[in-house]
Amino acid sequence: MKEKIEREFKKLCKSYKRKGVIGFSPLKEAELHPIQKKYLLRNLSTFDWSKPITAISIGVFYTREEINSVPDKWVTKGTNENSWNIYSQACGELNRILNNIASNLAEKFAGISEQATVEGYTRKVKQVEEYYGICVSHRVFAEAAGLGWRGKSGLIITPENGSALRLSTIFIPYEIESTGKEFQGCGDCQACLDICPFLKNEKNYRQNCLLRLKNVGLQNEVCGICIRICREALKK
């Protein structure tokens, strides 16, 4: 089953001319926020919870060109015409690709897929906590499945492409062994903390980041500076 899913994922990535990563972890091992657990119980209500459930974590990478369109220093404002929008548009494209791949895999393997992101919700949400009850944290499953480690930026850092990827999760009612791995982690790097004024304030960084995404002025509500910086830091 694992190999079949991996093969199918590779094929789908290829059809979108994208590279990606995939991993597996038992749902029962995931450390979920209680509100998210409730959401998941509701969403996976057709599954028999007394039997094993596996979370399939998938990630699709941004290209180098897309990441290099993001400024490599702190910039407060973007514009609608700015080349930074190459990244902004790629973010929307990756979400669509992930949603298609996830629903395709779910259909083929009797699973249930989660959307890559809750489309259009950044505009409506005022507090990050509002997200908790309407989606699952793809990062939790990506970390458990060994796609990468949790970086100082709070993002999943893959050995292949740093944090330059977007994630989605599919749940299947079968047992597949965990692909979780140990990574060395960020070490003494703190490039993302040095560039983003919000990341230093660990407690409120998510809320401050959300407000910045709303105000940065790009075509989609994104920023990505910590993602570009991380990719460069890993290459050194």
Q: Are 148 and 139 spatial neighbours (Cβ–Cβ below 8 Å)? A: no
CB nearer ligand SF4, residue 53 or residue 218: 218
Q: Are 100 and 114 spatial neighbours (Cβ–Cβ below 8 Å)? A: no
CB nearer ligand SF4, residue 107 or residue 217: 217
Q: How far is the CB of 73 from ligand SF4 (least distance, A)?
A: 11
Which DSSP symbol is given to 63? Answer: P
Give strand ranges (E) for 47-206.
54-61, 112-113, 149-150, 156-157, 165-172
CB nearer ligand SF4, residue 167 or residue 209: 209
CB nearer ligand SF4, residue 30 or residue 226: 226
**Contact set with ligand SF4 (CB under 6 A):** 151-153, 157, 186, 189-192, 196, 198-199, 209, 212, 223-226, 229-230, 233-234
Q: CA-CA distance, 230 to 224, in Å (whole number)?
A: 10
Name the closest residue to ligand SF4 (Cβ).
151
CB nearer ligand SF4, residue 44 or residue 218: 218
What is the residue whose two structure tokens read 């395709």? 104
Q: How far is the CB of 141 from ligand SF4 (least distance, A)?
A: 19
Q: How far is the CB of 109 from ligand SF4 (least distance, A)?
A: 32
Q: Nearest to residue 153, comparing CAs of 162, 144, 140?
A: 162
Q: CA-CA distance, 100 to 109, in Å (whole number)?
A: 14
Q: How far is the CB of 197 from ligand SF4 (least distance, A)?
A: 8
Q: CA-CA distance, 189 to 233, in Å (whole number)?
A: 8
Q: How far is the CB of 218 from ligand SF4 (least distance, A)?
A: 11
In DSSP terms, which residues pair with 183 in a beta bridge?
none
